[in-house]
Amino acid sequence: MRLQGIDHVGIAVLDIDAAVEAYTRLIGAPPVHRQVVDADGVEAVMFDAGSSRVELLGSLRADSAIARFLTLRGNALHHVAYAVDDVQVSLDEYASMGLRLLDTCPRLGAAGSLVAFLHPSAGQGVLTELCQPLATKEG
């Protein structure tokens, strides 16, 4: 198993529309994808940034994980997502190494990817996402 690179960085934001405006100016281009992920209670907005992406995450409900994160930390880096060939194989290998997992099997994430998360302890306090694109990185 080998990580293919950083797929994206996820940034939790208190005001998704204000963040989209700010990142459109910062990156110099509009978002390439915007999606509500009801199961997670988030709205995800993706920007292309070279060979990687920036994902803004806004909370849709007070009981979502992003809402809890925002209450504790405000606008902040939420996770780093690494591209892998096969999320399930990667999860199984990390579990065999004794790393703590938040997900034991992949699930559908934003922008048509299979995703799963490792506990922040696996990344020295940084939440780690494994990401396997099912289609193109766009829409």
Question: What pLDDT does 1 receive?
Answer: 66
Percentage of the chain exceeding pLDDT 90: 88
- Whether 138 maps to a domain, the answer reads no
Rounded Cα distance, 8 and 53, in Å: 4
Q: Specify whether the CB–CB gap between 119 and 13 falls below 8 A.
A: no
Cβ neighbours around 16 below 10 Å, total = 19
Q: pLDDT tens digits, residue range 64-110?
A: 999 999 999 999 999 999 999 999 999 999 999 999 999 999 999 88
pLDDT band of residue 43 (cuts 50, 70, 90) is very high
Could you tell me if residue 80 is inside a domain? yes
Q: Domain total for the chain? A: 1
Domain that holds residue 90: 5-133
Neighbours of 71 (CB within 10 A): 11
139: in domain: no
90 inside domain: yes
pLDDT at position 5, please?
94
Identify the band that residue 135 occupies on the pLDDT scale cut at 50, 70 and 90.
low
Domain-embedded: residue 115: yes
Average pLDDT, the chain: 93
Residue 89 lies in a domain: yes
CATH assignment at residue 27 = 3.10.180.10
The predicted pLDDT at position 94 comes to 96
List 86's β-bridge partners, or say none: none
Span 120-130, pLDDT tens digits: 999 999 999 99
Confidence tier at 138 by pLDDT (50, 70, 90): very low
